[in-house]
Amino acid sequence: MSQFKDEINFIKNLYGNKDNILLHEPCFIGNEKRYLNECIDSTFVSSVGKFVDQFEIEVAKFTGARYAIATVNGTAALHIALLMADVKRGDEVITQPLTFIATVNALSYIGAHPVFVDVDKDTLGLSPEKLEWFLKQNTEFINGECFNKISKRRIKAVVPMHTFGLPARIDEIVAICDKYNITVVEDAAESLGSYYKERHTGTFGQLGTLSFNGNKTITTGGGGMILTNDEALAKKAKHITTTAKIPHKWDFEHDMIGYNYRLPNINSALGCAQMESLPLFLSQKRLLAEKYEQFFATKSINFIVEPKNTKANYWLNAVILENLEERNAFLEETNKFGVATRPIWKLMNHSSMYKNAQTGDLENSEWLEDRVVNIPSSVII
């Protein structure tokens, strides 16, 4: 019998004692099929159509961002957001080592270099203290811009990520970056429906990005969104994601090297239906997290709750095990009995592509890397 028998039984019971409980399944209980049919009947299934515009309006309204630009996925959204933030080849971008690979890949597409700064243990997001210490120790101003004294490269942007939907201390991060003249681009891929001091994540930086991949809080199959309050950046982002074509009834004229990154109308149809269900998803996720919190309070396993001053979407619930050995036993046992769990990502500087990147001290990230495990988090209706 398993050392984690109670935990396995509790989770199985939550999900109606199904044989195989997945980590995060999408949920289609609204107008998805209706809108998809409508989209197919219209024949506008590709990059032009009413659902794309509607989806952008709904997401802007929900997040409070002035502008929202839909893209083919969250990685593409981040790629373009970093370009809009004027990140150039040879620049440096500071981010956290505890993130999904897409955060770092996006800046690499531009030819920028990642620098890794530690996270906080309670938010799992970029630590303002560690960021400020890193900048104080390692940078100097040249013509009003922040340069790394060691690499001699310009530090153009900081990309905090709201891990599993837990908001990072984003106002403090923005204040520090303002002081150093560094642009903040928030990777809010995991935090649709998460708020810091009652303001939606992804709207604090100059730009923010969302993802609608199949495992996220809402899904469009694949999809992403750029958020910004800056009208000029919004226009430019839309232009560059639609091959930089100058609108004209028949002429092909493109005024820069653009990208085919626009979210198709058919995916947006799904997005419009999912946005209608989002408030229900969020309240059900909160209920589930409360049940987990109460259960784990009786156990020696620490369930991660939303940090103070925040409202989390509880996209992926997570627990902290005692040490690496116990973590491995928990992963082994739960998966053996049909309860999908998985460890938090390996630190980005532990992957072969980014192993030579400069880092600050990564004490918290390393501690979390050995202990954090995600547990089933699908919405229960």
Ligand X SMILES: *Cc1c(COP(=O)(O)O)cnc(C)c1O
Nearest approach, Cβ of 301 to ligand X (angstroms)? 24
Nearest approach, Cβ of 26 to ligand X (angstroms)? 13
Distance CA 142, CA 107 (A): 23
Q: Which of 379, 65, 104 is nearest to 216 (CA)?
A: 379
Taking CB under 6 A as the criterion, the residue among 47, 63, 203, 211 binding ligand X is 211
Nearest approach, Cβ of 102 to ligand X (angstroms)? 4
Q: Which of 179, 235, 177, 241 is nearest to 206 (CA)?
A: 177
Stretch that binds ligand X, among 9-17, 142-150, 185-193, 279-287 (CB under 6 A): 185-193
Taking CB under 6 A as the criterion, the residue among 63, 95, 99, 148 binding ligand X is 99
When CB distances to ligand X are compared, the closest residue is 74
CB atoms under 10 Å from CB of 312, counted, come to 27
Q: Provide the mask over 27-66, with x wherever binding to ligand X is found by CB under 6 A and - wherever it is not.
A: ----------------------------------------
Whichever of 148 and 374 has its CB closer to ligand X, that residue is 374
Q: Give the total of residues touching ligand X (CB under 6 A).
A: 14
Nearest approach, Cβ of 381 to ligand X (angstroms)? 23
Q: Is residue 73 within the footprint of ligand X (CB under 6 A)?
A: yes
Strand partners, 277: none
Strand partners, 187: 161, 209
- Using CA atoms, how far residue 66 sits from 150, 207, 226, 314, in Å, is 38, 11, 11, 25
**What's 259's DSSP letter?**
-
CB-CB contact of 163 with 124 (8 Å): yes
Taking CB under 6 A as the criterion, the residue among 49, 128, 160, 224 binding ligand X is 224
The answer for residues whose C-beta is within 8 angstroms of residue 330's C-beta and 6 or more apart is 4, 7, 301, 321, 341, 373
Q: Is residue 161 within the footprint of ligand X (CB under 6 A)?
A: yes
Nearest approach, Cβ of 196 to ligand X (angstroms)? 16
Stretch that binds ligand X, among 15-23, 37-45, 73-81, 261-269 (CB under 6 A): 73-81
Helix (H) or strand (E) holding 117: none
Taking CB under 6 A as the criterion, the residue among 47, 103, 277, 341 binding ligand X is 103
DSSP codes of every residue in 189-235: TT-TT-EETTEETTSSSSEEEEE--TTSSS--SS-EEEEES-HHHHH
Distance CA 75, CA 257 (A): 18
Nearest approach, Cβ of 100 to ligand X (angstroms)? 4
Taking CB under 6 A as the criterion, the residue among 75, 191, 219, 358 binding ligand X is 75
Nearest approach, Cβ of 18 to ligand X (angstroms)? 25
Q: Which residues of this chain interact with ligand X, rule CB under 6 A? A: 73-75, 99-100, 102-103, 161, 187, 189-190, 211, 213, 224
